[in-house]
Amino acid sequence: MGLLENKTALVTGAGSGIGREIALHFAAEGAKVLVSDINDLDGQKTVSMVRERKGVAEYFHANSGSPQECEALVNEAMNKFGGLHIAVNNAGVGGPSVPVGEYPIDGWDRVIQINLSGVFYGMRYQIPALLKSGGGSIVNIASILGQVAFPNSCAYVAAKHGVIGLTQNAAVEYATQNIRINAIEPGFIKTPLLEKNMTPEAFAMLEKKHPMGRLGESSEVAELCTWLSSSKASFVTGSFYPIDGGYLAQ
């Protein structure tokens, strides 16, 4: 029996990268997974990959920056699977690379809307559904930049710091109601998008920033997320876990 047998889960931003790997890992451990993204082709591809591996998954288009669509996503999970036990708020955007004094207002608004408000919108509707389903786990995908600065990324850094605070606050509020809420802080993770948008020289420099001398893999983040979402982590709430090859230890 898998770690997540008889559980239902939703994963935002699951059309690629970390979100896709989390969906695949959840399904492999027995969960029924509602895959969410704004890129329908990518989202459907994740569902196909789950089904090819004999897992159970459905797709639902939802923009995490919209409270209405976050509510609709939770309702879909409840209607499709009859409950909700696990939610992963993974969807996010990078934003412009500009110093604070020049940062575009629309860029700030978009990053905060999706990366911070989107996590709040998700939990706002996920928590009542989890309570109705008897409890469960929420994992918010933050970043190592929820702990430290990164020049020219003020909106992203501010949003990810906010995700950590929001995670801790919600965890304390629901600690006695069988809901655990934690965050993961990935370092720089090797994804097709990252490799596509960086020169080999820049990629090599980024690898050197990590003491292990490499970037992380999406599957490594998914392994941690699976553990946090399972009963193996039954006494873990309000925590945030770096998975960064030693980046924050420097």
43-58 pLDDT per residue, tens: 999 999 999 999 999 9
| Interval 65-88: pLDDT, tens | 999 999 999 999 999 999 999 999
* Number of helical (H) and strand (E) elements in the chain, helices listed first: 9, 9
Closest among 70, 89, 68, 76 to 140, alpha carbons compared: 89
Per-residue pLDDT at 179: 98
pLDDT of residue 196 exceeding 90:
no
| Interval 224-240: pLDDT, tens | 999 999 999 999 999 99
Q: At what angle do helices 105-112 and 154-173 cross, to 10 degrees?
A: 30
Average pLDDT over residues 115-144: 98
CA of residue 242 relative to chain centroid, distance: 13
Cα distance between residue 138 and residue 68, in whole Å? 19
Catalytic residue among 103, 121, 125, 156: 156
To the query of whether residue 125 is one of the catalytic residues in this protein, the response is no
| Interval 85-109: pLDDT, tens | 999 999 999 999 999 999 999 999 9
Q: What is the 3-state secondary structure (H, E, C) of 166-187?
A: HHHHHHHHCCCCCEEEEEEEEC
pLDDT of residue 15 exceeding 90:
yes
Q: Mind listing the domains of the chain with CATH numbers?
A: 8-188+218-243 (3.40.50.720)
Average pLDDT over residues 147-158: 97
pLDDT of residue 161 exceeding 90:
yes
User: What percent of the chain lies above the pLDDT cut of 70?
Assistant: 100
Q: Rg of the chain's alpha carbons, rounded to an integer?
A: 17
DSSP letter for 115, please. I
Average pLDDT over residues 200-213: 93
pLDDT of residue 23 exceeding 80:
yes
Cα distance between residue 243 and residue 121, in whole Å? 25
DSSP letter for 212, please. T
